[in-house]
Every structure is written in C-alpha cells, then in structure tokens.
C-alpha cells in the first residue's frame, strides 16, 4: 500500500498548496491513502468545518488535529458529524469526537489511524500518550488492519523518538507533527515501522514556523507583544512523508521524505515537476 502523510497545514498558503497539488500527487504516486494534519489550517489556529471539507475535496482520506483542535468553535460539533476528522486520543474524556478509527480504501484495504498528544513542553497537561496509544493499537493490530498510522503531535524530539520505538513493529508509520520543521531522520525502525520525528508543515517557509516573520522576531527581541501572529502567505511547500508497506505484514518497506513546491529542496518517491 502507498501512503502519504502531510504535516500541519498552515493557513491560507497551506490550504492553497494542498488544494492545488494533492490531487496530482494522488495520481502520479498512485496513493492508496492520505492523512493530512489540519490543525493550523484556519488562520493558523485550529480548523473550521469548511476548511476540513476543502482538505477532503483535495484528496485527504483522514484529517488529524492536535493541541489547537477546538480553537475554531464549529469543530466541537463537526467532529461529531464527520468521523474522518480525528482529535487526539488523550484529550479529556468529555471531548467530542474520536481519536482513532479504521478507514477503508477504495480497494477495500483497512487502515487504522490514531493521533495522540505529547506531554513534554506542551501547554496543557494531557493523559499519558504511551498508555493511550498502547490501548488504541490493540483495537486494530497489524494483520487485522492492512496499515496502521500514528500521528504523534508533540514538541520534544526525544518524546517522539521514544514513541516511534514504543510502536515499532506495531505500526506501519509513526510520524511527528506540531513543530512545523521537517526533520532529516526518515527511516524504517528495526521491527519495520517507518518513522520521522516531524513531518514539517504545509506552509510558507519564508516565515517563523508559518507565521509572518515580523511579530515573532519582535517578541523574541523585545519580549513584548505588538500585534497578533499572522500566517505567512507566500508560496508553500507541502511537507510530509511517503510510505510503502508490505501487503502481507503491513510493515514499511520504503519511507521517503516529501517536500513539494515552495522554498525547500524537493523530495519525494517520484517525479515532482
């Protein structure tokens, strides 16, 4: 199976890049399943129902969220209506929506997707992500599911790496999101799980993690807030990871970093013209 995971979509620039580029990649790379992290799609903070629909129309099969899951208030109701949108597993028990589910591809294969939030350096205290993902993976183990994808939305690379090894052999892909910078450690772990510490963002990299540069730089220099953060609006790079799995085991046989368009050097499993 051929799987594409795209990192955090950042504002209008990211949405535009996904809408314009993902349909072509689905065809050219013969993709079976696409996951997009959409939690910064709407003004850089959260996801609206309308923008979720746009990502699905572009070719996403599943959209994951993160610590900004409910910054846009209509998402409280939308996650109850559309279970293709996943919020983190280890949110409060009273949170609407679900954090994991089994999807079916057009060819009838089963793909289990789960998202969980890290604890280290995060702004809120969430339940233990390792216990949460452990319980989730028992719901649809490899073999019952043709592929298993884990989106670990976390700040610390050490915590992300620990999660990769915690899931090694039990997932097809463990990929980090949240920090908006693609890491250069794309690999297949010893027991067959593809891993990348951070998928990066789908956004304008002439920015500070997707935001127009002036206000973040000003805050770092002066320690004062002058205005709101505004998503950068220049040409965006689609960033993520491509994984090909073995049909029998569900484990990864190929993992390639993805960078298409914008400022970053191009990378992918096939032609990028």
Residue 121 lies in a domain: yes
pTM (2 decimals)?
Answer: 0.96
Domain count, the chain: 1
Name the DSSP class of 192.
S
Residue 268 lies in a domain: no
The whole-number pLDDT of residue 140 equals 93
Could you list the beta-strand ranges (E) of 178-251. Answer: 187-188, 194-196, 201-202, 238-245
Residue 120 lies in a domain: yes
User: Which range marks the domain in which residue 47 is found?
Assistant: 2-206+236-260
pLDDT digits (tens, 9 = 90+) for 202-225: 999 999 999 999 999 999 999 999
The whole-number pLDDT of residue 199 equals 98
Residue pointed to by tokens 């183990």: 141
CATH number at residue 45: 3.60.21.10
pLDDT digits (tens, 9 = 90+) for 13-61: 999 999 999 999 999 999 999 999 999 999 999 999 999 999 999 999 9
68 catalytic? Reply is yes
Residue 211 lies in a domain: no
Residue 220 lies in a domain: no
Name the DSSP class of 227.
S
Residue 117 lies in a domain: yes
Can you tell me the distance from the alpha carbon of 199 to that of 6, in angstroms, rounded to the nearest whole number?
A: 7
- What H or E segment, with its residue span, contains residue 153? strand 147-153
Residue 229 lies in a domain: no
Name the DSSP class of 75.
H
Weakly modelled stretches of the chain, pLDDT under 70:
124-125, 273
Residue 272 lies in a domain: no
Phi and psi at residue 110, in whole multiples of 5°? -100, 130
Question: Which residue in 68, 78, 153, 178 is the catalytic one?
Answer: 68
């Amino acid at each position: 199976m051929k799987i594409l995971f795209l990192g955090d979509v950042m504002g209008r620039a990211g949405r535009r890049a996904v809408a314009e580029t993902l349909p072509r990649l689905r065809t050219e790379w013969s993709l079976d399943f696409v996951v997009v992290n959409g939690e910064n799609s709407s003004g850089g903070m959260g996801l609206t129902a309308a923008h979720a629909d746009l990502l699905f129309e572009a070719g996403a099969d599943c959209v994951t969220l993160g610590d900004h899951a409910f910054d846009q208030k209509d998402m409280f109701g939308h996650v109850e209506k559309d279970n293709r949108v996943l919020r983190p597993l280890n949110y409060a028990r009273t949170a609407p929506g679900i954090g994991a589910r089994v999807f079916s591809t057009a060819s009838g294969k089963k793909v289990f997707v789960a998202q969980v939030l890290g604890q280290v350096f995060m702004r809120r205290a969430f339940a233990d992500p390792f216990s949460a993902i452990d319980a989730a993976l028992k719901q649809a183990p490899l073999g019952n599911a043709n592929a298993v994808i884990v989106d670990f939305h976390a700040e610390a690379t050490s915590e992300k790496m620990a999660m990769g090894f915690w899931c090694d052999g039990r997932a097809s892909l463990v990929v980090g999101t949240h920090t908006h910078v693609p890491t250069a450690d794309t690999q297949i772990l010893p027991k067959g799980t593809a891993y990348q510490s951070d998928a990066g963002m789908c956004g304008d990299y002439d920015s500070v993690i997707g935001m127009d540069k002036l206000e973040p730089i000003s805050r770092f220099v002066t320690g004062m807030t002058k205005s709101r953060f505004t998503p950068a609006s220049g040409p965006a790079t689609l960033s993520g990871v491509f994984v090909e799995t073995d049909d029998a085991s569900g484990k990864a046989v190929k993992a390639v970093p993805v960078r298409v368009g914008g400022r970053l050097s191009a990378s992918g499993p096939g032609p990028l013209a």
